[in-house]
Structure 1
Amino acid sequence: MSIRTALALLLMLLVTAHAEAAPPSKIEHLAWLAGCWQLDGQPSGAGEQWSTLAGGTLFGSSRSLRDGRTVGFEFMQLRQHDDGRLVLTALPSGRNPTEFNATRIDDTEAVFENPANDFPQRIRYRRLDEQRAHARIEVAQDNPTQAIDFPMHRVACGGSTSTR
């Protein structure tokens, strides 16, 4: 075997080993988000609702309430792209979409980042148990004064309606 052939084989082995060591993130780890989540300490209906996982996508919406009125909303999409990237796309209060790429995904936590966005630059979802979760938005430099926490608990979807 020539040195050139040996080097080519070695390079192929290294590339294969690296690819096996770093599999792409899988959206299946986030299937636990499906359902309705009430923000702790907030009026009924303030929180997030996520669809079930289908076609490599989860769809979500959030709503903020004050004095019985909606004061903020957001539409979200979690999508596993063909290239393996897992992306959270957020459309807050009717503004343009912003994409956040997954930087860490496992069965209990998902971290998404977009350093080019002004705020937030990082979004975290963490499952505490079957009934409790915690979301956090922050700047990527870990400045605790520029972070907002959203503790929440699972509730039945389709609760009472109010016409106020």
Structure 2
Amino acid sequence: MKLSRKAVAGIAGAVLAPIVVLVGPAGLASAHGYVNSPASRQAQCASGAVKNCGDIQYEPQSVEGPKGLKSCNGGVSRFAQLNDDSKGWKVTNIGKSAKFTWVFTARHRTTNYQYFIGNTKVGDFSGNNQAPVGDVTHTVNLNNYSGRQKVLAVWNIADTSNAFYACIDVNVG
């Protein structure tokens, strides 16, 4: 059976279309990350540890906003639940230093990673303008703090004007 050129082109298009969709623009949009250890607020929503989180439960890696913000939701209104301190976030007990681990669904070249309690920067780690090759863990000194704290972790991207944001509820002591 000999197929016409139109038939061959149609079959090729049908076979290639799903591949283009998977690796095309959606692939570019998935370059995200978040803190999963200790479990950030978005990690808690994604795992079901905290309920009624809205869209963030499906895309914990998507809390992306302009650099320089100090909000858990990165200025993204559909993730506003992350800013609600009364939501019942699980608190992780830690010592006077803590290891925070970022996971990535894709990688960006990185300026730095910053950690804040309130408006005070408690950690700053260079990304050396490189894309992370795997999960990234930082040890942050929290000697000046005790009790329940909210840590804001920020991944500042080198190749865009945005950053990724994650809040982690901890009990230092």
Q: Output the TM-score relative to the length of structure 1.
A: 0.32
TM-score where L is the length of structure 2: 0.31
Name whichever structure is richer in helix by fraction. 2
Bigger relative contact order (CA 8 A; separation at least 6): 2
